[in-house]
């Protein structure tokens, strides 16, 4: 069960890191520090969008339309924090305490 606990925490950590990279990259694109006409930037941006859209999509359908302000990453961050805390609080079940 320890392996399951560690695997779940690793998956949540990887999602967290990918989301941080996506958010920072979106800021850099919006402030025109990065240009989507550069092939590497465009490929990285497309890959991040493809990875995160299955996570953001259901959240966006539930949230009201706020125009240009996308609240889906914030909601997903809160969900990840709740899941990590729930796993940490119930670590005894995984670790056999």
Q: What does the pLDDT read at residue 1?
A: 75
Q: Rounded to whole angstroms, what are the CA distances from 61 to 18, 54, 64, 79, 80?
A: 21, 12, 8, 16, 18
Tokens 């695997």 appear where?
7
DSSP state of 96: T
Q: What does the pLDDT read at residue 94?
A: 72
User: What is the domain extent for residue 62?
Assistant: 2-95
pLDDT digits (tens, 9 = 90+) for 3-23: 888 999 999 999 999 999 999
pLDDT category, 87, cuts 50, 70, 90?
A: very high
Q: Which two tokens stand for residue 75?
A: 């909601």
User: How many separate domains does the chain show?
Assistant: 1
> The whole model's pTM is what?
0.86
Q: What does the pLDDT read at residue 56?
A: 95
Average pLDDT over residues 50-69: 93
| Inter-residue contact 44 to 23 (CB < 8 Å) | no
Q: What does the pLDDT read at residue 24?
A: 96
């Amino acid at each position: 069960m320890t392996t399951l606990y560690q695997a779940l925490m690793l998956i949540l950590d990887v999602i967290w890191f990918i989301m941080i990279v996506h958010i920072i990259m979106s800021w850099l694109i919006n402030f025109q520090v990065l240009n989507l006409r550069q092939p590497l930037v465009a490929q990285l941006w497309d890959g991040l969008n493809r990875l995160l859209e299955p996570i953001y999509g259901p959240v966006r359908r539930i949230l009201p339309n706020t125009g240009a302000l996308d609240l889906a990453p914030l909601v997903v961050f809160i969900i990840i924090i709740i899941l990590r805390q729930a796993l940490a609080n119930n670590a005894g079940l995984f670790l056999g305490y």
